[in-house]
Each structure stands twice: as C-alpha cells, then as structure tokens.
Chains A and B, each alone.
Chain A
Amino acid sequence: MFNIFRCIVMRDLTLAMRRKTDVLTTMFFFIIVVSLFPLGVGTEKETLRHIAPGVVWVAALLASMLALERLFASDYSDGTLEQMLLTPQPLTVLVLGKVLAHWLLTGLPLVLIAPLVGLQYHLSIESTGVMMLALLIGTPVLSLIGAIGAALTLGLRGGGILLSLLILPLYIPILIYGSGAVAASAIPGSELQAYFSLLAAFLLMALIFSPLATAAGLRISVE
C-alpha cells in the first residue's frame, strides 16, 4: 500500500520537475498578489501590519485555487486517470498521493516564502512564525477540499469558474481561523492554541473525508 502511495507521489513530482512552469506560476501569483496590496493601500506601517493576515490568506486561497484545475486535468485528458481507476488499488490511496504531491508543489512553497511576505508587511518575528505554522496546517486543507471540487468539475466546459464557486465558500473557515491566528499573535499575551487546534481539526477531517469524496467524484466524471 505504501509502495503505491510513494509511486504516485514520485510520479507527480517527476512530472512537475519536467514542467516547472506549473509550479512557478502558483508561487509567483502568490507573490504578486501579496505585493500589489502595499502599492494600492499605501505603505503606512500600521495599516500594512493590520491587513497582512487577511491579505496573505486570501492570496493563498486564490493561489491554491489557481493550481487546483491542473490536479486531475492532464491525467484526465491523456487517459492515465481512467487507467488509475482500473488498477486493483484503492482509489482513495491514489487520490491522497496525488493531493500530497500537489500540496508539496503548490502549498509548501507558500509556507516557505511567508517570511518574505512578513518582512514586506512589517510583521514581527513571532507573527511571521505563527503565519508559517498556520499556513503549514491550513494549506493542506485547501488542497484536500479543493480536490473534491477538481474531481467534480473535471471535463466540464468552464470548469475553472465553477470550481471557484464551489470551493471558495468551503475555504471560509480556514480563512477565518488562519488569519485569526496571525492577527491574534500581534496582541501581546493572547492565547493561540485554540486557533491551531481548530485548524488541525479541519485538517484531520479533510484527511479522512476528502479522499472518499474525491474518489467518488472521479468515478462520476470519468463515466
């Protein structure tokens, strides 16, 4: 079982390494969106510090949204997806492998680039640390929930727009608690554990239910 999981993850990582643009576009999209705000809002320290949590999280949501469409699309169009459905392996494991690879390529880079954003928005070192941790727990949830939408809208015309309409509302809890954690970290003496517990709870829920829902969605879409 673990062998299969590793095989799928390595396959998707190899494919991404041969086609680097897909990975880089997500990251640059995130950087550009985040950098546009200071230009529009003004460079006043307090304002920036105030809007930073929301801006970073909304940018992360949009960036992960942008990458979602490609999660199953290329496998669908060249027929490898239907071959995956026909393998004697549990589809949920294959889905989980694909989502993990997708997160490593699109979610993890956002976590790693977060300190740069922190500098740009005059965040304290603690707040930046909290932001990284919140992104580390939150972005996998985005990939997992997004996978359900990507599976359901596979092969539809204008699927990209439909995907955003379906999935963005489901991202709201992550947005609230993710940016809430960063905002709270700016207040001295505030307790952050509740935010992280809730984010981790979302992650566990998504880890269990998303592969099942995604697998069902894929079966419907391929038919």
Chain B
Amino acid sequence: MKHIDEYRDGALARSLAAAIAREATSGRHYQFMEFCGGHTHAISRYGIEDLLPPNVQMVHGPGCPVCVLPIGRIDDAIRLAMRPQVTLCTYADLMRVPASGGHNLLRAKAAGADIRMVYSTLDAIRIAATELDREVVFFAVGFETTTPPTALAIRLARRKQLSNFSVICNHVLTPPAMRAMLGEPGGAHVRVDGFVGPAHVSTIIGTQPYAQFATEFTKPVVVAGFEPLDVVQAILMLVRQINEGRHEVENQYIRAVTADGNLIAQREIAEIFELRPSFEWRGLGELPMSALRLRDAYADLDAERRFEVATVAAADNPACECGDILRGLKKPADCKLFGTLCSPETPMGSCMVSAEGACAAHWTYGRFRDRARVAVTVTVADKAFA
C-alpha cells in the first residue's frame, strides 16, 4: 500500500536497528521516553523492542488522552448522560474507562442513558441538527490533535444556531505534561535521556514548543511519526544526539510537521478556547495551565456552564499503578493488578482501556515477554535479526 508500506519496511528496519546497535555505545544506558500513546502502540504492535539492543530502552509516557482523564470527569459524563433530555456523544475509547463505584459509560448506556459513540465531532453536530428535542453534549477529550475538530464543531453549532448543542471540554496540552515528566526538583521522576516527540500533536503546534526541553532541561527531542520506521529512525537520531553531546529539537516527521505547525488550527483554538488555571491529570495530579476551556464568548456552548457541572474529585483504586505507569516510574507488569484483576475485558485502570494505554498495549501485544523466554520466542528474535 503506497504511503504505508514504505514506513513499515522490514529490511530498512533491520538496517536502522543495526545502526542503533553499532552506535549505542556499550557500557552506556540510553533511556528514552516516547510521550505519545500512538508511539507506545506502534512499539508494541510492531515488536520494536526486539530490534533494540539491551542498553537502549523505551519508557512509556502519558500521551494517551483517555488514560490521563481523571475519574471525576468520567463521573461528570455519566451524571450528564443520565439526565433524561441529554444525548451524550463520545469517542468509543471512553466507553469502558472505569469511573467511581465500578461504573462506566457502557453500563450507563445499558441502564438507559442515551450515549452515542461517534467517529467525528461532525457526527455529534448532525445528531443535534436532526434531533432538536435532545440536548446533545459532545464529550471532548484529547491533546492538541483533537482540539481543532472540537473547535470546528463549536463554530458550526454557532453558525447553524444549534441551541441544543454543547461541549464538555477536557482538552489538554502536551508541553505542560512533558515538563511534569522531567519533574520538579526533588520529586520522584523517571530518568529520561531524551524524548521521541509527539507526531500528530506536532502537526498542530509545530516543533517550537519543545525548545524549552532542549535548552532548559538539556534533553534532546526528536519529533517522530507514528509508523514503526519513524520510531526506529527517531531512536537512532536520539542516540546520535546523546553520543555527540547535543540536545536539540529535531524533526524526523518532516512529511507532516513544520516548526510553526498549523497556524489556522492554532488561530481557531485560540479564538474559542482559553487556558484553565489548573486541571487534574490522572497520575500526574493538578498541572497548572495544562488544559483548555471555552471562552466566555462561547459560554452558551459550554456544557459545564449550561448544566452547572461541578466535578467531584474521585480516587483511583489504591492498588492500581496507573499513576506511576503514566509517569514512566513503573512498567505495566510491575502492577499487581496487571493480568489478574485488570485486563482489557475488566479494566481497573485507564491505562488498560485505550489501545494507546501502556498496559493495554503491553497486554495485547507484548505480555509474552514477561515469562522466561521459551525456545519459540528466541526463534522469533533470531529471525528478526537475521
């Protein structure tokens, strides 16, 4: 398939892997964080760990929108959806995210709440335009990537004078979360030698916002696409920066990302949204200036104001390690619940829900690595390096 196969080429992967193995100096440990869930998924889906030498390790970051959404916000969604006049529209990922008291949106739907899974914000607009007697609320989640489509829906609702449409905004920002990964002085944080920087997010915000990590924290950042070759090439670029003592923002994803990003999208976002002073992230806690809300000019389209949503903070299951996993401090298999009480069928924590979550990716693609390697597994690895 054109524009796909060339980014998944096994022969090219082997030559890049050989370059990494050659250049990753023995006796030195390289620990890189892929910020995005999309990268986590690609690493697991294509078995990229098998292509890396033992001294090059990847740490999964918090860039999974579903995973970082705190329980209280899911509770809000369920409470809203249970109102008889409300139709809640959401991306399907959110349906199984555990809320307080063992609830989730899927169960609320079964109990009679009108919850519709949509592929696009435009589907939600369509529902609002055709079902005028329903209060259609779009539950907006995601990083900078999914913010422009929400902005577009708000614009359309305004233009079409859809008084029955509103948005509950949970959009969050990438750079504050990356800062949180590097930690406040003295706080517990994982060692990160460099970042595989966001792919789709960077198409919107560009590469400039990462300059602070290169200058202030002296960490190299390589913005990379979500295809497996993108990831492997980015890792090689990071190894080279470290070896050469550089800490720069480099762009591996030149086919989609520019330094300035998508200015039209940025303008739309700035026009409709403003920064929240603070927002709670699952696993990372309250992060200042890390999330968006609707500006006063769009208050009529803000479901939080229309329905007077007052988020009640709710605690995670105490045995769930999602918090430490999201901060890269623990691996999925370190959690006592992993694969016992917590699996994609019965997720206890959010990292097990989304396909981009570190736990779900490890469970779905990589958990065979947790056992003592049997002869079979070694054969696979041999083949990979043949």
A in complex with B: no
Q: Which residues of A contact B (CB under 8 A)?
A: none
